[in-house]
Structure 1
Amino acid sequence: MLQAIALAAAGPTLANSLARSTLASFFDRRPASPRKVKIAAEFSLPPLSAVGKRPHPTRQLPVAGRRRPTRVSSELTLGPGQLVIRGRSWYGDLDSKPAGPTDDPLEHVRASNCPWWFVAGYGVDRRLTLESGKVARPAEERLRSLFEPTPPTGLGFSDQQSYGKVFASAFNKLLRKVLVAQAHTVPQITDLELRGAGGVSLRDLAEKDKFQFEIAGKPYKMPATYLSHGYQSTLSWIADLVGQFLLDFEGVGVTDPRNLSGLVLVDELDLFLHPDWQADFIDALSQTFPNLQFVATTHSPLLISRLRPEQVVLLDWDEEGDIIAQQFEDDPRLMTATDLYRRLFGIENPPPTDLARVLSRYKFLAADPERDNREDKELGELRSQLDTAGIHAPAPTRRSRKPRS
């Protein structure tokens, strides 16, 4: 689903470059199914006054003429045996598709790398790398990791001196603001040490004591490579997001994370995150980046528990084997973890486990001095199950000789 959204937002030429290694997997393998693949998506173009920047930025609208469109639609198709995605985009909703050939706004946008048409995507390979290379084709590379195991540039934007010192300085200052903006965007990081006018290298961030943490009420400094996978992977994609946006905006004029505007796609948003971090992560992202729209996949009830019903889309199979999108009717904020596991993931018997139920039943019977012969036999069978599993069970209370009335 995230790949489909990314391709639709990229436009046909860029879509072919992104999907070149995954095209074969797009087709339905069921014999009776038509082999034609179609992706259709409709995107809103909100006014940029919402980002709170003064003066308000402007979005280039190629081939729009004097119109001020608020939506752009994109349609892509891949026919049987074809190796090239075909398609086009137009201003308006999907129902207003032009009958004949027209100029393609997304093709113009991606060819010129127009700012304020920002889309970024992050796959599950979000490791922190110590290599810094120039981002040659930004509009493509900021979506690449959704299609190939390619880690984001991440902290490497600190070394992008080829864009000029102004860019590196702007990146480091904006990243610092992001990291300390909300307590649970990247928990416990309280500061990022910058050098001089804000310059700092990738090696500095990765190998020197640049990140300040608060642990047990005391500040400690350490390099990024000392941190857990949860910290490293989150730093990797959030730092890449900041750098890619600055690159999209030509590196100047954006000094507040609230000014970032666009669409961000993240696969398995909860990847490597501690449960306590997951519980507040979505709220922290929303508050740090209020003008970015996040579309993410997850299997974490903790992440979902903070969402409103209209923010959750459940993907499931129908009777024909098709994957369908269902709007979630219940309110996750009012549901227990057991309810979420059952309703979202089809797990009918979440913890406590069967073994925990055996122990609970054993303790109940073992504490009853008036258990009858049938219950005493059950107690012995339960004790045998617990012994086999290596579970230490307390000795049962001696049975009373007084029979039950």
Structure 2
Amino acid sequence: MYITRVQLENIKGFSRRRAVDLKLPGRSGWIVLAGRNSSGKSTLLQAIALALGGPNVVRGLNADFAGWITHRSLTGRVAVRVTSDPRADTFVHRGVRREAGMLLGLEWTRPPRSTSSRGVQRLEMAPLEDVPDAGAYGPWAENPRGWFCAGYGPFRRLTGVVGAAHSRDTAPPEPLATLFQENASLAESVRWAVDLHHRKLEEEQARREGEEREEVAGPLLGTVLALLRDGLLPDAYRVQRITADGLWVSEQGRKAQFPLREMSDGYRTVAALVLDIVRQIHGRYGYLETGPTSSGGTAVLQPGVVLIDEVDAHLHVTWQRRIGDWLRAHFPRVQFIVTSHSPYICQAADEDALIRLPGPAEAESPAVVSEDLYRRVVYGSGDDAALSELFGLETPFSSRAERQRRRLVELERKVYARTASAEEKDEYRELAQLLTSSVQTRVAEVAARLEQDR
């Protein structure tokens, strides 16, 4: 399953001229939603998740949708159009006709004030009228066959409350839990890996005792470890094994091993994310289809959609540059839709897949960036991306450096006009040596000097 179009109307800040109508590449790859704080990146990601999950997932989430509809609007709607993979996405009912593009969507309505309890209005939710029955028998089925989708919020913890994001009387919508609840964790993925370890030991014991039993856990655990070991962790660290105590890591060239849980947030969150994606894919399909990456590593080949909010959270810039390429290489048939404040995450975006969300004060809709801006971000430096209209950063320098650079321009004008005193010349030389600049910055500084000369 892949998303080809997303529409939001009267959902939080997405109303009127800011309503969403995005056409996305209906294929695997790396789609980035970029924008300032409060531009609605998380809201857009959550809305996509709810449309893909359907009414049962929405009801199961213990999330507060009180402010979901735009202020003074009576209804809010989200619609997502998806295309299916005939080999992977099937229907629970044989009579359903497969369509080229399936519409999935939900609508929230404010109840009349007379029916609200003590002034608290609980929104009424229902599928859009245009949603075909295929949705109920496909991605919205109680136990979907394929139609893989998972979502992750910025707090991707290995410890915490498992299943905290669902109510007790419904099945836990685990694939989307952390996208809506900060206290939900990915600890279940580690428990799954530990369970594989125990089952592997049981299979080995049965084999030693001469019992004929198909080995399932051992090969599956080997695939998981091969994936985690294939350059996922930076700085020459590597996941070595999985035991009853969890994941163990070592540094290249050293024999000592230590638990992953003792490492920094960056290591833990990335390992937990990848491990959970693998667990969710295996849980949805019942097996892992694997193949080699271009470098000879292990890739998981099943299709689907993975949503990640603030994918750059806890990651050093060197890791931010690599994470998009790593995930695409090891999940080559997954459509990743991520949000980020990092220019390095944006540099991995596919063509027609870098989307700018205007700020809350801008009366514009989210849109795919122009080809010129895309090339500047993807093929330029990190500074080029940060200084572009995608991020709106006015300068890459500190406020102290900016003051000194303005002084440098003033002194440079005097030096070239031969009106600088001896002290000013000395100050100019000191600042020129102190304030080393890139070619792009020097061009801007010279332009500022020329502007003053007019």
The one-letter code sitting in structure 2 at the alignment partner of 1:116 is G
Give how far 1:170 is off: 5.3
The one-letter code sitting in structure 1 at the alignment partner of 2:236 is Q
CA deviation profile, 1:12-34 (whole Å, cap 9, x unmatched) = 2222222x5221121112x4xx2
The one-letter code sitting in structure 1 at the alignment partner of 2:259 is P
The one-letter code sitting in structure 1 at the alignment partner of 2:156 is R
Q: Which residue of 2 aligns with 1:13?
A: 56
Once residues 349 and 180 of structure 2 are traced to their aligned partners in structure 1, the CA distance between those partners, rounded to angstroms, is 27
- Asked if structure 2 preserves the Cα contact closer than 8 Å seen for 1:129 and 1:154, the reply is no
Secondary structure of 2:124 counterpart = coil
Secondary structure of 2:67 counterpart = helix
- Whether 1:312 aligns to 2:371 is no
Secondary structure of 1:26 counterpart = coil
191, 203, 216: which one aligns with 1:156: 191
276, 280, 284: which one aligns with 2:326: 284
The one-letter code sitting in structure 2 at the alignment partner of 1:115 is R
Q: Percent identity?
A: 24
Give how far 1:227 is off: 1.3
Q: 1:111 to 1:327 in 2, by over 3 A?
A: closer
Q: 1:167 to 1:298 in 2, by over 3 A?
A: farther
Q: 1:373 to 1:253 in 2, by over 3 A?
A: closer
Q: Which residue of 2 aligns with 1:346?
A: 392
CA deviation profile, 1:331-386 (whole Å, cap 9, x unmatched) = 222233333223212222x22234224445667959x7x76349749959x99xx9
The one-letter code sitting in structure 2 at the alignment partner of 1:79 is T
- Whether 1:141 aligns to 2:174 is yes
Q: Which residue of 2 aligns with 1:211?
A: 249
Once residues 134 and 329 of structure 2 are traced to their aligned partners in structure 1, the CA distance between those partners, rounded to angstroms, is 35
The one-letter code sitting in structure 1 at the alignment partner of 2:84 is L
- Asked if structure 1 preserves the Cα contact closer than 8 Å seen for 2:288 and 2:300, the reply is no
- Asked if structure 1 preserves the Cα contact closer than 8 Å seen for 2:93 and 2:137, the reply is no
Which 5+ residue runs of structure 1 have no aligned equivalent?
49-57, 90-96, 195-199, 387-405
The one-letter code sitting in structure 1 at the alignment partner of 2:272 is S
Secondary structure of 1:211 counterpart = strand
- Asked if structure 2 preserves the Cα contact closer than 8 Å seen for 1:261 and 1:292, the reply is yes
Give how far 1:35 is off: 2.6
- Asked if structure 2 preserves the Cα contact closer than 8 Å seen for 1:157 and 1:168, the reply is no
Once residues 309 and 81 of structure 2 are traced to their aligned partners in structure 1, the CA distance between those partners, rounded to angstroms, is 21
- Asked if structure 2 preserves the Cα contact closer than 8 Å seen for 1:211 and 1:222, the reply is yes
- Whether 1:126 aligns to 2:156 is yes
Between the two proteins, the alignment pairs up a number of residues equal to: 344
Once residues 195 and 162 of structure 2 are traced to their aligned partners in structure 1, the CA distance between those partners, rounded to angstroms, is 8
Secondary structure of 1:113 counterpart = coil
Secondary structure of 2:136 counterpart = helix
Which 5+ residue runs of structure 2 have no aligned equivalent?
1-43, 112-121, 201-214, 292-298, 435-454
The one-letter code sitting in structure 1 at the alignment partner of 2:104 is S
210, 213, 227: which one aligns with 1:178: 227
Give how far 1:108 is off: 5.7
Q: 1:66 to 1:324 in 2, by over 3 A?
A: closer
118, 125, 132: which one aligns with 1:85: 125
Q: Residues 251-400 of structure 1: matches in 2 within 5 Å?
A: 252=287, 254-255=289-290, 257-317=299-359, 324-329=365-370, 330=373, 331=375, 332-341=377-386, 342-348=388-394, 350-360=395-405, 372-373=420-421, 376=424
TM-score normalised by structure 1 residue count: 0.72
- Asked if structure 1 preserves the Cα contact closer than 8 Å seen for 2:189 and 2:279, the reply is yes
TM-score normalised by structure 2 residue count: 0.65
Secondary structure of 1:2 counterpart = helix
The one-letter code sitting in structure 2 at the alignment partner of 1:177 is A
- Asked if structure 2 preserves the Cα contact closer than 8 Å seen for 1:179 and 1:189, the reply is no
* Relative contact order higher in (CA < 8 Å, ≥ 6 apart): 2
Give how far 1:226 is off: 2.4
Give how far 1:66 is off: 6.7
Once residues 336 and 176 of structure 2 are traced to their aligned partners in structure 1, the CA distance between those partners, rounded to angstroms, is 14
CA deviation profile, 1:309-329 (whole Å, cap 9, x unmatched) = 41211111487x556211111
RMSD over equivalenced CA pairs, Å? 3.8
The one-letter code sitting in structure 2 at the alignment partner of 1:122 is Y
Q: Which residue of 1 aligns with 2:77?
A: 38
Once residues 43 and 220 of structure 1 are traced to their aligned partners in structure 2, the CA distance between those partners, rounded to angstroms, is 48
Once residues 75 and 422 of structure 2 are traced to their aligned partners in structure 1, the CA distance between those partners, rounded to angstroms, is 64
- Asked if structure 2 preserves the Cα contact closer than 8 Å seen for 1:193 and 1:211, the reply is yes
Once residues 303 and 75 of structure 1 are traced to their aligned partners in structure 2, the CA distance between those partners, rounded to angstroms, is 29
